[in-house]
Amino acid sequence: MTLTLPVMHPSRAESGAGRVAALTAMAFGALALTCLGTLTLAAPPVPLGDNFQIGSDTGPDALGGRPAIAFDGTNFFVVWRESSGAILGARVSADGVPLDGAGIVLGSGTGTPSTAFGGSDFLTVWSNGEIYGSRVTPAGVLLDESPIQITTSGNSVKVRPISLAFDGTNYLIAWRTILDQIFVARVSTAGVIVDGPAGFQIGQGFYPWVAFDGTNYMVIWHGHGNGLDIFGNRIATDGTILDGTGFAISSAEEDQDHASVAFGSGGYFVAWHDTRGGDAGIYNDGSARGTRVSVGGVVLDNPAIEIAEPVRGPGPVNVTFDGEDFFVVWQEDLSPAKHRAVDVYGRRVSPAGVLLDAQGVPISTAFFHQWGPRTGFGGDRHFVAWSEGGRCEFITYSNQACVWGQVLSTNTPSKPASVEPSSPASVARGPVDWTVESSPTNQPLYAVWATSDTDVYAVGEETSLFHFDGTAWNTLATGLGQRMFGLWAAPDDVWAVGWCGYLNHYDGASVTNSPDCHGDTAFEVWAADPSDILTVAPLGGSFRYNGLAGLGGIPTGVSVGLWDIWGTGPSEVYAVGAFGTVLQYTGTDWASMAGIPTVQSLNAIWGTTTDDLWVVGDFGTILHFDGATWEQQPSGTTQHLLGVWGADDGSIYAVGTAGTILRRFEGAWLPENSGTELTLLGVSRGGSTMWAVGDGGLILRKKALIFADGFESG
């Protein structure tokens, strides 16, 4: 990869020592580029195993109790708040093994906790009107049965967040008061406040974050300026405020919020959620952006570096340093995708401000919501923790939220995270003719299946089966059960599956339902014949039915979500899912296929034979299997692809987020104009007609007449 030395952009005038700091910043920016030319970059972090549960809770308030992470040289320590008010912590090994069961009870409070390692012990702090703390040894021994009250100011502390860093002697703790003031205080390793009972104010705003550069601290936060802006202030280890009431780090148009900061390779990196960018969705209303800041307080990237788009907000964008590069994590909302809501991704930024990964590295692309990711680094491992409700509720069938985590390795890559998107040809062969059909619903349609030009079925958020008879779309049947995700159809023989494992069969006259909800949500269905039905589900679930009866689980050997299934017969079936998972079913057992060249989530599969399989996934991932080798093909897009199907002319269609439609014809993937920015969730072909369905009940149709030479005419 050829790297060019970035231009430095000091954002505020300085003289004397400030100019020296600016020159130091130039050196920081050039550390990773000792010479210009072609450099070999390290492979992106690779997920080790699947997501794992760390702590549980009895209510959804844990979604607000975002975890925090520290590392002691051997193990990670993650802390969180439960809805009961309990503050808990647990050690996690570098291999991703929780070491303290349900967690160590550190105290109770109203605010989310933060933690740091102080050389001998972990100090965890939280708010409960004032700031309290508890220490835990690397062996998991709680040193403070009664939490230490650190501040006695009478100036109440806002519930979240608190941040702290260690300088080798003391910690610096930063917090927000109920008057939206940013306060800090130095605290000893014994938990004793050094700066009086109340600490001291360094700025005005919200959500502070602190890091230490070996000489001074940097505290950053967002506050009112040009809308919401990112500010910073440096604090010396003796408590001296170095930047008055603070300086602007980002004051661009629109809002910047929920920032964090890390130090490494001679300088800081500040990352935040930015309301610029985003997509047509309700929640993906922005991007993740960041800038390098020198130890002298000089902002080096103006405009800021765009790390990811879209990003769900307002929500935290968190950054850490891994010894070579910065690693930024964020949350993205894939709603209304049937199997995903809020996911967690990460991406590396070099000390020179270069994005090192073509797309986001998947951290959690699981069932339902993953919120508020926090990241830490130790040894050669990244550890990311977050709060979520979906899988915990699924596992326990209760209203339960909990803390989950994922370990990623930096030195044992087994699969690339992505391929660099290429630029497709600017003109597609033949005319593009997608038209919007009158839809029987305004709710998301998750799946479509066409058996001919005049026999097409669709299901979605409503409890209805919809049908196109060649003239119009109508409601064919109701009462299918909540949220139908998957569909398989033959003439007068339709199977639909969804939430809670509802299984529905239409025989041409009426719909028959499975008896009740058995809790195992099914995302897709494939039928060898009406009496041999296979479904796939979250957490690696697979079930086989004899018609509507004979429910039986089939072990898959994986615990990742499985999103789609396709086959040629009862002994040749394939399933795809999260973390680049592809499974093959031989009629009795599932086995993981080797040689999958990605760790991105794989969302849909279709094929003609067992040696001609097409799989699509996140960030424009497209895979082809020729019976012997999996090949990743450049798609020309970084949008998530959610559906794939072939046409009679040999072309292949893929659909996805932001109204993306791609068509592969004569060896090239070409974009087609869908006329929408809504997410497209499914695609199918019947006769000479292609169909696509998606958010808001959207139904698109492309009619093509295929001539003998393979050309199309609209």
Q: Is 7 part of a structural domain of the chain?
A: yes
Last residue of a domain, one of 651, 676, 705: 651
Predicted confidence band of residue 315 (pLDDT cuts 50, 70, 90):
confident
Residues 185 and 295 placed together within one structural domain of the fold: yes
How many domains are there within the chain? 2
Q: Is 700 part of a structural domain of the chain?
A: no
Predicted pLDDT at 631: 97
Residue 476 domain boundaries: 454-651
Predicted confidence band of residue 100 (pLDDT cuts 50, 70, 90):
very high
Residues 463 and 385 placed together within one structural domain of the fold: no
Predicted pLDDT at 173: 97
Residues 253 and 354 placed together within one structural domain of the fold: yes
Q: Is 384 part of a structural domain of the chain?
A: yes
Residues 469 and 405 placed together within one structural domain of the fold: no
Per cent of the chain over pLDDT 70 is 85
Phi, psi of 418 (to 5 degrees): -175, 170
Per cent of the chain over pLDDT 90 is 66
Per-residue pLDDT tens for 486-513?
999 998 899 999 988 888 999 998 888 8
DSSP states of 566-632 as a string? EEEETTEEEEEETTTEEEEE-SS-EEEPS-----SPEEEEEEEETTEEEEEEGGG-EEEE-SS-EEE
Cα separations in angstroms, 639 against 89, 275, 620, 657: 37, 19, 5, 6
Residues 374 and 497 placed together within one structural domain of the fold: no
Per-residue pLDDT tens for 233-258?
999 999 999 999 999 999 998 999 99
Region 281-288: what's the mean pLDDT? 79
| Strands across the sheet containing 581-585 | 562-569, 572-577, 581-585, 590-592
pTM of the complete model:
0.89
Residue 711 has pLDDT above 80, yes or no: no
Predicted pLDDT at 12: 29
Q: Which long-range contacts (CB under 8 A, 24 or more apart) does 588-594 make?
A: 589/554, 589/555, 590/542, 590/554, 590/555, 590/556, 590/557, 591/557, 592/557, 592/558, 593/630
Residues 226 and 295 placed together within one structural domain of the fold: yes
Predicted pLDDT at 39: 43
Region 143-167: what's the mean pLDDT? 86
Q: 39 vs 83, which has greater pLDDT? A: 83
Q: Which of 71-85, 100-114, 426-440 has the lowest mean pLDDT?
A: 426-440
Residues 328 and 260 placed together within one structural domain of the fold: yes
Q: Which of 62-71, 442-451, 526-535, 655-664 has the lowest mean pLDDT?
A: 62-71
Region 44-59: what's the mean pLDDT? 83
Predicted pLDDT at 547: 79
Predicted confidence band of residue 153 (pLDDT cuts 50, 70, 90):
confident
Last residue of a domain, one of 374, 409, 444: 409
Per-residue pLDDT tens for 608-638?
999 999 999 999 999 999 999 999 999 999 9
CATH number of the domain encompassing residue 532:
2.130.10.10
Residues 520 and 375 placed together within one structural domain of the fold: no
Residues 156 and 66 placed together within one structural domain of the fold: yes
Residue 40 has pLDDT above 90, yes or no: no
CATH number of the domain encompassing residue 136:
2.120.10.70
Residue 188 has pLDDT above 70, yes or no: yes
Residues 349 and 491 placed together within one structural domain of the fold: no
**567: alpha, beta or left? (left if phi > 0; alpha if psi -120 to 50):** beta
Residue 421 has pLDDT above 70, yes or no: no
Last residue of a domain, one of 380, 409, 438: 409
